[in-house]
Amino acid sequence: MGELDGAAEEMAKMAEWLVSKALLHRRCYDEHRLRRSLTALTDRSDQAGWARTVDRTLLSGLRQAVTAAWQAGWQPADVARRVRRLFGGEHVRLAIDAMAEEMRAYAAVTVDDRWLAQLSALDASVWWEADEEILREKGDRVAMVTRAFEVLSVLTMLPRLERLCPLPGTARRAVHVPGRVASERTLARIRALLAKAESTEFPAEAETFTSAAQSLMARHSIDAAMLAAEPGGVQEPGGRRLGIEAPYEKPKAILLDVVASANRCRAIWSKDLGFSTVLGFDPDLDAVELLFTSLLVQATSAMVQAGARRDLAGRSRTRSFRQSFLAAYAQRIGERLRAASGEAVRQAVAEAGSDLLPVLAAREQAVDKAVTTLFPRLARSGVMSVNDREGWMSGRAAADLATLHVRDKIA
């Protein structure tokens, strides 16, 4: 018995050593030695227990890497986005399964609602009976081991991010948040309006639906600010990370920035990681996320409908046209949003009195302070250059069709 245990222990040590060496080779970009290490992990099929030992080693590494990623500021949606950006498909599913496995260690009451919402959106659930089933063998074993290792390598090389919410196991769930039910009803109505704006083929209808949604967002944000200013109200800003996908990342990031600014939030773009961090109060963050997503859908649809472009020599200038299109769209939307936001505040002040202005100013100051705290070395990006006049004019025209004037008040 002791001899068998000793053999199993030696196999475990060997598997751990091979995985650690493979990770080192990946960090050093040594593809030749990396392939040799991965081959060694899969070449001992004749040794009893070796495959199971490798599986357990990889699973243990994934669990530890998920824990380390969360401690480094990464949230479930961030992890899935990073793996999808580098690999996709089965790699993402494996990363989600690893996160679901890690969550078994925490009582639900000690996990922040935002964390649970992200896991639910990813469909992160325990579907397996034995842990080894997580490493589903679709195709040959080499492909499976390679996939598990690649996910592990991504997780172990993640940079540190700003922590936006409590870690699992440390959160304290609020028993009751004033206005939460009303807020969720309002968000449902806003989503419905924006869905109609995205689906209609008629620009005038899209304008009407988007304007109605913006009006409802602005009123909801102001009501939430006044409620939070009362004794016992929540006064701390939070943050969310929104993906900025290729192509045309910079004008998309600019679009998010103008949407955030108009809603008293701040957006910080992490170009290399493929997302922007938006800081603000929850109702404003909801508005930014919903409106940015909808406007991006509308802008993309208008851009595609505009078709491809070629210069006089017959060479494609579609990329330049679309880059300029989205940049102009973002600028024009920013103008419209600032006007709409200002009008909403003026109407609210006329109804509720000037006490609203110090409340809104205090919230903007709190957001600015959060930016300084989380991003002390923040560098500002310059305005992007535009070299396609037709694309620029077309983008502004499309933004005009997505006009956001606050007109009829939504009861």
In tens, the pLDDT along 51-107 reads 889 999 999 999 999 999 999 999 999 999 999 999 978 999 999 999 999 999 999
Q: Say yes or no: 348 and 233 in one domain.
A: yes
pLDDT of residue 88: 78
pLDDT of residue 7: 81
Q: Say yes or no: 328 and 207 in one domain.
A: yes
Distance from C-alpha of 408 to C-alpha of 56, rounded to nearest angstrom: 61
Q: Say yes or no: 230 and 374 in one domain.
A: yes
Q: Say yes or no: 109 and 7 in one domain.
A: yes
CA torsion, points 276, 279, 280, 285, in degrees to nearest 10?
Answer: 30
Q: Say yes or no: 152 and 186 in one domain.
A: no
C-alpha distances out from residue 161 to 158, 270, 374, Å: 9, 10, 9
Burial class from Cβ neighbours inside 10 Å (0-12, 13-18, 19+) for residue 385 reads: exposed
Q: Is the pLDDT higher at 314 or at 201?
A: 201
N-to-C CA span, the chain: 76
pLDDT of residue 406: 33
Number of domains within the chain: 2
Residue 26 lies in a domain: yes
Most confident of 22-36, 130-144, 192-206: 22-36
Q: Say yes or no: 245 and 150 in one domain.
A: no
- Spatial contact of 171 and 110, defined as CB atoms under 8 Å apart: yes
Residue 157 has pLDDT above 60, yes or no: yes
Residue 109 has pLDDT above 60, yes or no: yes
Residue 356 lies in a domain: yes
Residue 177 has pLDDT above 70, yes or no: no
pLDDT of residue 408: 35
In tens, the pLDDT along 305-357 reads 777 777 677 677 778 888 888 888 888 888 888 877 788 888 888 887 778 88
Residue 169 lies in a domain: no
CA torsion, points 392, 255, 259, 295, in degrees to nearest 10?
Answer: 80
pLDDT of residue 370: 93
DSSP letters spanning 73-137: T--HHHHHHHHHHHT-THHHHHHHHHHHHHHTTS-GGGS-HHHHHHHHHTT-----SSGGGGS--
- Spatial contact of 103 and 77, defined as CB atoms under 8 Å apart: no
Q: Say yes or no: 184 and 141 in one domain.
A: no
Handedness of CA 173, 179, 185, 187 (dihedral sign): negative
Residue 406 lies in a domain: no
Q: Say yes or no: 140 and 203 in one domain.
A: no
pLDDT of residue 409: 34
- At CA 43, angle to CA 40 and CA 49, rounded to 5? 100
Distance from C-alpha of 49 to C-alpha of 56, rounded to nearest angstrom: 11
Distance from C-alpha of 205 to C-alpha of 209, rounded to nearest angstrom: 6
Three-state DSSP at 253 gives helix
Contacts of 216 (CB under 8 A, 6+ apart): 186, 189, 190, 193, 410
Q: What is the mean pLDDT of residues 121-145?
A: 83
Beta partners for residue 240, in sequence order: 278
- Pairing type for strands 238-243 and 266-270 reads unpaired
**Dihedrals phi, psi of 343, to nearest 5 degrees:** -65, -40
Residue 379 lies in a domain: yes
Q: Say yes or no: 237 and 373 in one domain.
A: yes
pLDDT of residue 64: 96
Average pLDDT, the chain: 84
> If you ran DSSP here, which 8-state letter would residue 273 be given?
G
Q: Say yes or no: 227 and 367 in one domain.
A: yes
pLDDT of residue 101: 94
Q: Say yes or no: 207 and 139 in one domain.
A: no
Residue 121 lies in a domain: yes
Of 156, 190, 221, which marks where a domain is finished? 156
In tens, the pLDDT along 249-262 reads 999 999 999 999 98
Q: Say yes or no: 123 and 256 in one domain.
A: no
pLDDT of residue 319: 80
Q: What is the mean pLDDT of residues 197-204?
A: 78
Residue 325 lies in a domain: yes
pLDDT of residue 388: 46
Domain of residue 63, residue span = 2-156
Q: Is the pTM of this model over 0.85?
A: no
Of 122, 156, 190, which marks where a domain is finished? 156
Residue 162 lies in a domain: no
